[in-house]
Structure 1
Amino acid sequence: MVLGRTDTHSPGLPPAEPGLVQDVQCQPEATRLGLTWTVPPGDVGTCVVAAEQLAPGGSGQRVFQASTAGGALLLPGLLPATPYRLSLRVLGSNGLWSRTVTLVCATSADAWHPSELAAAPRLEPGPRMGVVLTRGLFGEDDGQIGWYGVIASTDMSLARPPRDAVNRTWHDHHYGGHDSYLATLLPSPFHPGPWATPEAWAVPVGTEDCGQAREICNGRLKPGSQYRFSVVAFTRLGAPETTLSFSAFSEPRTYVSPGAVPLPVAVGAVAGCVLAACAVLGLLRWRRARGQRRTHRPIPSHSFRQSFEAKSAHAQQAFFQEFEELKEVGKEQPRLEAEHPANASKNRYPHVLPYDHSRVRLAQLQGDPHSDYVNANFVPGYAHPQEFIATQGPLKKTLGDFWRLVWEQQVRVIVMLTVGMENGRVLCEHYWPADATPVTYGHITVHLLAEEPEDEWTQREFQLQHTAQPQLRRVKQLQFTTWADHSVPEGPGSLLAFTDLVREQARATQGPGPMLVHCSAGVGRTGTFVALVRLLQQLEEEQAVDVFNAVCALRLQRPLMIQTPSQYVFLHSCLLSRILEGPPASPRVEGTGSGSWRTLSAPSPVRRGPRPQPVAVADFAQACAERAANANAGFLEEYQLLLQAIPAAGSVPPPPGCKQDSTASYDRSTAWLSLEDEGSPPDEMPEAWLFPGGPSGHDHVVLMGPARPQELWQLVCEHQAQVLVSLCPPDSQDEDLWPTEQQPVVMGTVTVHWEAESSTAGWPCTLLRVTQGDSGKERRVHRLQFPSRELGPELPASALLPFLAAMGRSCSRGSGKPGTVLSHSSKGAAQLGTFLAIDQLLQQAGAERTVDIFNVALQQSQACGLMTPTLEQYIHLYQCLNSVLADGLP
């Protein structure tokens, strides 16, 4: 598809079209919409306003059109709770029309008049403490209910819930002695549309470990106590004009601790799980009772329909149960930079704040220490940990930051999943030029080259130019226009078609940068879309999908990714629809020129075997023995799968001598050095790579080859490394790299001083003080030297374990998120690959109680081809890790 503008401009002074209307505001009511706007300056005649009623799928039917010379209009006679696409354009006195401004606005539902007290809810059958929400519980006109809550009470004498119970939490009940409290709060699961519209929704009560949390938390109930439950409905949260209504209390039920269930009862309960859905739920309860968190739950494509139907049974309880498990993932991670007062006004929503460990850092502007902040996170795709950037829709004050983000990260594809305004609320600032006139945001000028609107999406192409750099860049934007906030599309077909279009554009777009995806908050619709792209690739490569793990991985990098239960169910619906379509008749084979976007390409016609799954720590010794049997046949088969998988998502290396303003990679893992000495031959440049750490793990920068002081310490400063690991033999190291007690290392504005020799976890450690810039700001760096006698192509476990323990302890000093580690080897990639892999695997084993050597090796190899292990090195990873795990995790 070729995009192009139809505008033509002849020489001379042709008549000018009027400007666009500005500041369009929509005020919805039940049967009418009020529109206001600012008339553009100049000789303007009338403004024509048209309204189309949107049907499922996004098609529209014209229901209103009127002309006015003013800046306001009332659109009467509309249907309640119905979306309308509104268009405004101006007719100039010269007979020319302006370009059309469009927005989607929905009428509100009919006024809700709840009954004085709704009927009591029913409870889940059996001993389980769960309340069943039903559509129509608060009357047939309950379309304005936005949120439901469950009130729990131990007071058996109450005739109805006290109103102040909504202000009490589990903490007030457990520690403060209050009888009635708000146990849980959830968005309404009852939405229009056939794909996520249950008639009932089960809400378990008492499922969370709340500790000392004072906010709303679904904490454990008191064993042996009787509880009654009421449902409370809200039209909106936190607003003074909210309408609130209660149901009557349910019958009382005694809470029995899972550990106190008699054996015959437990056996009977298991024997009673005849249906597949009951088996799924029983399995989940059993795993939670054992305190294990199993994040990998792959489902083969041939079994997906059966799994979907089982989870849809009993008012989709299994889906809800999974989503409840995911709600807590990642929540404990620090967001200190986002919470800093200097950055508070840069966040669109105060509860959607990026985690520190995965936030995208902008280049810091001189004199502004917080100018590196933008509300955005790197999030993982199928085969690369930084395949996407998830970000909020920009605010007026962050438009410059948004385009800095696009430029610095070399983004070539922007996916926009929202309209600018919905129901009178601005969801995203208009961040591109309205016409062919370029607009400058900070140091970046944006030209609109092409625009092609369609029924459900619009494609645009921009040209970017930086005032300080000569090169021009082209960026594609694809905007999906029929997905309302906190909701789901009418069906999977339109989103699947849009996703295929995005993947096709990504494959055709040259450039190493990640894909940037945003909606309004950058979590709900954004998370659903990113998960769908990732899972479609997994489906093509493995003929299986792991939805739970995909969402878990996203939520570890950015909070609230996939925001509502209905979005989680809809994601499954999209995958089911694609699976039922069957595989493509003739899969495409990608060429070699599509860069890192080959991660999103169609599968190769060569069918690969299933990828190895993560291995539980307790089963790792047995897994090693099985692979070593028959002359290492299992290792050989797995290694061949690794070599097949590596080209599927390989990235294009930058040209020799590539220089960028920052050492941060923007091939998403390569940390390129900006050499001050332009006479340096390209083949003498050291190579540096950035590997992001997990939510509680440290980022890792690895530096290969001989390095000069300015190269080493530039990386330390720009990545704020806290620990410097040397894998170079002491006798081969350049003395100029390190300061002595008498002589510091000085490079321009950076000075490195020797401060002390110390010991960390029994390991010798040198403490260095780095002073940077004219401000004299100081920071400490710990240097650890791997023992020279152990330096070989394969690092032994006996030395690795204590050394990694010392490194980890140095990283965690005085920091919530562990500091960055920079590891340097002058000999090449083999040692660094082993060192980095064992470090990552031990972090994974401690956090998840599983290890996944295959995927760790795959991600390293795709990020840095030099780290692709030989068969011997791959087997050594298993043997080394098995030796470490045999003595127990540190």
Structure 2
Amino acid sequence: MWTEFCVLLHFVARASGFVNLAHTPAQQLQGAANMSKPPQDPAWSANKAVDGNTSQELLTTCAVMDYTKNYNSVWWKVRLGRRFNVAYLEVYFRSSTITRATGYYFYSYDSTDVFDPNSLHPNNLIYHHNPISGCPASIQNINVNRLAQEIVYINKRPQDHISTCIGADSQKTTVEICEVKVMGCDANRYSNGCGKKCDGKCKSHQCDAFNGSCIYGCADPNALTIDCLVCQDGQYISNKQCKPCQGHCKDGTPCNKLTGKCDNGCNNHWTGSFCETCSLGYYGDDCNSECGKCAGNDVCDNQSGDCPGECLGNWQKPKCNACSLGYYGDDCNSECGKCAGNDGCDSHSGDCAGECLGNWQKPKCNECLDGFYGSTCNATCGYCKDKQPCDKDSGECVHGCKPHYEQPLCEECSDGFHGSTCNSTCGNCTDGQPCDKNTGKCLSGCRPHYKPPFCKVKSTPQTGDEETNTGAIAGGVVAVLIVVVIVGLAGFFFKRRQGVNKRDPAGHVQIVSNDRKKGSKGNKYADISDNSLERSQEEHTDAALSGDDGGYYNTAEITAYIRTQDLHRVILEKNKKENNVFLDEYKRLPVGNTDKCKIGQQKGNVVKNRFKTTFPYDHSRVILTEKWTDNDNDYINANFIKNCNGDKAYIAAQGPKKVTLADFWRMIWQENVKLVVMLTNIVENGKNKCTQYWPEKDKGMDVGPCKIKLLEETEYAFHTYRKFTVQQNNSNTRTIAQFHYTAWPDHGTPEELGLVQFHRAVTQKYQTGGLMLVHCSAGVGRTGTFIGLDSLLQQGREFGRINVFEFVNQMREDRMTMVQTAEQYIFLHKALLCGFQENNTMIKEDNIPTKINSLLQDTSPLNQRALYKEYKVLQTLNPAFDDKDKEDGQTPDNRGKNYDLKILPVSKYRPYLTTYIKGRNDYINAVCVPSFTAPGAFILTQFPLKDTEVDLWRLCMDHDVNALVVLGDTNEQGVSWIPQKGSTSFCTPYSLTTENTGSGISGVTQDTMVISIEDQRKELDVFYIPFGNDNAILKGVELLLEKEKQISFTSVIMSKDGAERVGVFCVLHNVLQQLRMDKEVDIFTAVRQVQTRRPEVISKLDEYRRCYELVPVSISEDGIYANM
């Protein structure tokens, strides 16, 4: 034993790296390996993985189990000759079958530990490959840094196993490992070369394999850290040194020797982990000065007292502790009056120092002098009674007018009087009409026997015939008018009693009576036909009735129409956990009836069905009439589906198989299909879902007599758009559009907004009167959901109400199990709600300057401006996630890793950290956000805190980040955690180097940084962008867009809290991508998309307005769009 130790010591002292403890024959080091199942061939035994041969394809050098045995849990292990200080593993998998290794684990066991495959302890876990992160690397370096004698590899397939690795099997696994190098030193040595002994200060002379720190404890029990330092009172340990306490601990007590923190709290107005900064709201050397009124709940600088941004209301920068010029009062909310010379008023009393402007009254000059009124005090009061002053706002004479003047302003004569003083009486104007109040003339003529224009002098009398005739004519006219009025009223009341014929959304006639029958309990629509086919547009049944009080009444019947404005409330009521009406509704839908599917079950057709129990109904199936070969028959697994109006509008089909590829194109050609909607990926979770039925770009495809070419293919974040041409023999060429939704998860439902945006792309880019062909894999679940969304959105937008249950029921009459699961049924309701909430906010490229300038230059009252209304709608649509959705950020281990506990990541959207660092878990406050073209383009995160910097570098390495965008302050040149140009810093176990090749342009500082850990090296671009500089923001977006043209690109976008600032940057990036691709922008929807993942972004109107302000700038002559 001692001889072996001396040999190893002699070797490692001269080595350039750690020793392979599992196989170094020259040092007589050889581990013993075995595994849980026998090898597929005796020559492929467990020991082959520790024979020193790293070839990844020669089976004779690998440990391989028989994959065909369908094992769902396997292990392989190597036991070393003795206990070692293991640094890391180098694992070489068989590269051609790497998909079988997805989800694997590695464990380490010390000499006293016992490996039990049925009782695995998390303390022994050293690495786990996350199966939803894609396929594992075929060569993997795994950090260990533990004392160990046994290394164990485990892989298993639990029932809920899910993987995004294409080709991975969710049911079975195996062992296919070509080599495992266990790299390290002897138990009391460390460093890359094993040339250093663990310090005697370390307990039992055992230490960290990389840096020699005493991670297993210190020999001196009074030592508090892995550096084994012992500090005096009034000192604490920092960077392996004893430093004086830096804070203001309560009552002068010393700080904690280990942390430097004040365990008993801080003196008044001091805060921070070390009581080293002023509490929020205070500043100054002694933190006794209170901050002013900073906007947005910001706090002032704790040294100068200056607010970081704007002031609240009318307070004055920089400290926001005095009123701005023109305002006064305790809260600076009172506006100064109209002081002469534009002088400000006294900030406390509001009195003007000198005279007032115009007709304003001292001392405050904020009301009119007596005799004047209006917003400018330039209007003169009318002739008020007893020369009283008028109301100084409205000008009304509150005590009445002088005689013969008309209230309330008393500015013109009362009817019957005229003249400059209204003392002249009008003449005998016809029908008692008043005369002109200035001239006294009767403009409508005189009464009989008086002379115009003043009608005060009588004319010469005439014979009685004219007067008699005039009276007779007048009487006749009046009589005719009376008859017309009577007839009209009679018709009106007759119609009210008889009711009005209307049509419901399905086109059926209803009779709506305006009388209420007895016993109707006030139901406005009680008199409706009992015929079940004649449904009212109102919710008329006893089932799910929306009453006048806004309540939702759940009874037996469930087929009521829902008004679109009530849909949100109905979803909330129906989706209550204790009484989920949705589930009851779904159970009442008809299940598939195989008796109606005889053709699909015929022997020759069974092979054409993708699934054993999904067939088309005979009465509605698509019958193929044209034969392309002698073996063709008329069968394809597809049905015609009617829309809400009962018109044949869709074909619902299964995804084509290889044997049905020609049938699929026969159907497209026969039915003259011009629009195909595809809702599945070719492969999902390792399973084939659909055969690719179109050619690659620049390659043709021949199917029967058809020649198919791909003209166009454009990829977006959640879908791909393709355009084909198809020509059969010498016929005319047809053009077909395909919209391929790529974001529907294999299990579950997609984001409502994502599918609604996809639907909008379908309906906007391609509108046709022909049949829409919709397919997924089986052609029932996703297919039925999308058809329901399309048809019910049309119905709701036209009639204002929908009946989801009735339409799904109608679809199932034509194809079995359309909308296949209760989850899809509930999702359909939510997607419809999202669709009805859409605003018409799309702006075409040519209209951008005019439209956006109109929005920005609107000077109407704030609550009437279109931009403000858009912003308020966004606030109502912002998703509300509960504590359970964000529970990862609230655990005791993670709470301290958040800058603001009000800004936490939604667990399903956060990126998980996988690199093992002792004492760290998989959490970082960050969320994944799509760009316009890529679903995982952005990771939004906060600036690192004191103890979370290492997690930022883990994030960059684990998620293959290409760029770091830092949105900082205008007056700063960088951040402390990124090294200066040409220098290197360390964040154990990472080293960070900023190269000398950086540059600055338009305010953006661009550098190249290299992150290194052991033999791994990651190079990424770093952009520092001062957020207050519009040119810098635009240039930063431009630089990122240019980078994204070259490769698949992931960017981390950072701000202090991970919400403010990052939202504006991402939205601007996405709308400019949209502009480049589709020649249009939709800022409203772009904001919604980011808020779906991070609801706290763009929470202020100013941020939303800034998005609009920057877009026109970006497409100006020198702007970003010109350079794309």
Give the TM-score normalised by the residue count of structure 1.
0.34
Query: Larger relative contact order (C-alpha < 8 A, sep ≥ 6)?
Result: 1
Larger radius of gyration: 2
